[in-house]
Structure 1
């Protein structure tokens, strides 16, 4: 057994570049694991810098300096974000308040419908079970209402932190865009000298992350707008709020689409009942989800993310448990990183065969 472990170690870790790559990966993991809370503004800035790098490079190609291009792109981006914040966010927030206010009515309607099930299907349902479930839901609704109030009070404390982020993040994005090469050179000076393998993995992952962030943002916008238009056609209540939730849900593959479908069904059932309008609205929603998964995602990501669905779900669960939102957001790039490292890792036996 010891001999097998020794042979495996020599085969996998005899190359100095492999050791350098391992050191870089372990150091990066430790930094993110222990300091991800403190580094949250920097992570946000890095995501935005990846997103804005493409228009910055295009402006450079038509003759703008790097500083001017970064300034123009950042000003335009901040303007778009402000428009969204002052136009979309207040409407979605107001609809969220109305939804919370109407939830007791939705629950009562659901309870009344559930109470009729034992009479309609006596062989399949029991009145006692239905009453127990209704009582349990009432208790949970009460707890949810208290939690919303506590969260609203706690969010007031976080407004100062949010204000600081609103100043820090744009500044970080500007310097990441303007001084990109200087910062990369500074990082290279800190890394080990034998980093050829790490450089090979970095080149592949840099392109993967760039494509992933741009694709995800575009997917969120397209799916959100298409869902909002579809809900508006049917006059569905809270259409903007639900569309925003559907757009955000694309960040979590498979799981997000399943979770966000629940409030969509509940709102549509409460408004339309189980009639033709409900089924038509739900069919349009399913068509949008189907087009997203079978048309939009292949077009945006192509072969950039060639991972099995089970691997993606496990990545979301594992990295989300480790790093929360950022683990969920970067679950697919991190899984792709592991795959790239496994494929690029040197194997002495493979080299001897060649």
Structure 2
């Protein structure tokens, strides 16, 4: 008796089900932000600390103590970074009144220039600025709320990280037991590549941040910009956000130079220096320490960062790229999802499927050629 033919559902029905599933998943992720965000960060931190923890265990250190030592070392590094930034911010706050006075004078000059050139009354300018500020209050409130929420759950990160490292074997066995025995090897490959990708991405990103911080600070110090180290480090941290962070990073020192210096030569120098640094970062530093490990194209990176911001705020912007990198690894290992993996990647084909060997073919002939090629 011939086997029953698998029922093929129409495209519009499958598309509707997939869309509904995505909407439901997005709603759940948004509703459980306070739980999922620290858990996601803890997962990445646990993967990053896992090699150190394993090394300590091989040195006959008890597993619980090895995990505690690994987390303690990570906390020391984070506290040192925050202490450095806090001391720099404290120095900045001492000169805040003078900067405020200079900024008010600069704003008055700009207002007079606009009135002279375009005939726009000062009251209208003030009203326009007030309207812009009112419209941005919601976004600012959302950002501040996200930061405060993140700070509120920071204390959960060490607990989550400890639990994930302690129950690592239990979690891995769950993934192996959930799938059939025939897929055990594929599951092992996906888990191994996922771990390597996240470790390489985070380590590469930290190395890139240090290099860019040194380059930024050195350039700003040469140009004589106040608080060069603080602005350089902040710019390096913002640079971790693909494409978007670099734009914000260059605006801060330009604003500082505009408030503290006369003329525009320093601003032009900052733009030139940051363009050179971005060129070095994008073509030398980033490809060697980050992008070789996570092959995500620029379009997907920008879109996913914006989507991450819309979903989880600042935390989502940092989590989005490694999350997509994990998805790409999974897609590349599953036959039906390989087209999606190719879409996320940065390998651009020279010709599309409908154009083979410089000629155009109909759909049936293209399918036949692809079958023969496979």
Q: Scaled by the length of structure 1, what TM-score is found?
A: 0.72
Aligned to 1:284: 273
| Structure-2 change in CA distance of 1:329 and 1:281 (3 Å) | closer
Q: Secondary structure at the match of 1:251?
A: coil
User: Is the aligned partner of 1:263 residue 2:252?
Assistant: yes
- 2:236 touches 2:249 (CA, 8 Å); kept in 1? no
1:180 to 157, 168, 171: 168
Aligned to 2:354: none
Structure 2 stretches lacking a partner, 5+ long = 1-6, 15-20, 338-366
User: Is the aligned partner of 1:74 residue 2:76?
Assistant: no
Deviation per residue, 1:165-198 (Å, 9 max, x gap): 43x3223323333442233224544x34475555
Structure 1 stretches lacking a partner, 5+ long = 13-23, 120-124
Report matched runs for 1:95-244 at 5 Å.
Answer: 95=92, 99=96, 102-103=99-100, 105-113=102-110, 115-116=112-113, 125-128=117-120, 132-133=124-125, 135-137=127-129, 162=151, 165-166=154-155, 168-186=156-174, 188-189=176-177, 191-193=178-180, 196=184, 200-244=189-233
Q: Please report how far the alpha carbon of residue 313 of structure 1 lies from its aligned counterpart in structure 2 after TM superposition.
A: 0.9
RMSD value over aligned CA atoms?
A: 4.4
Structure 2 Cα separation of the partners of residues 29 and 142 of structure 1: 29
Structure 1 Cα separation of the partners of residues 82 and 296 of structure 2: 35
| Structure-2 change in CA distance of 1:66 and 1:29 (3 Å) | farther
Structure 2 Cα separation of the partners of residues 118 and 127 of structure 1: 4
Aligned to 1:345: 334
Structure 1 Cα separation of the partners of residues 53 and 293 of structure 2: 23
Q: Please report how far the alpha carbon of residue 315 of structure 1 lies from its aligned counterpart in structure 2 after TM superposition.
A: 1.5
Aligned length: 327
- 1:96 touches 1:238 (CA, 8 Å); kept in 2? no
Structure 1 Cα separation of the partners of residues 188 and 23 of structure 2: 16
Structure 1 Cα separation of the partners of residues 293 and 281 of structure 2: 16
* Misfit runs of 4+, over 6 Å: 24-30, 141-145, 348-353
Greater RCO, 1 or 2 (C-alpha within 8 Å, sep 6+): 1
Aligned to 1:20: none
Q: Please report how far the alpha carbon of residue 112 of structure 1 lies from its aligned counterpart in structure 2 after TM superposition.
A: 0.7
User: Is the aligned partner of 1:314 residue 2:303?
Assistant: yes
Aligned to 1:17: none
| Structure-2 change in CA distance of 1:215 and 1:30 (3 Å) | farther
Structure 2 Cα separation of the partners of residues 8 and 200 of structure 1: 33
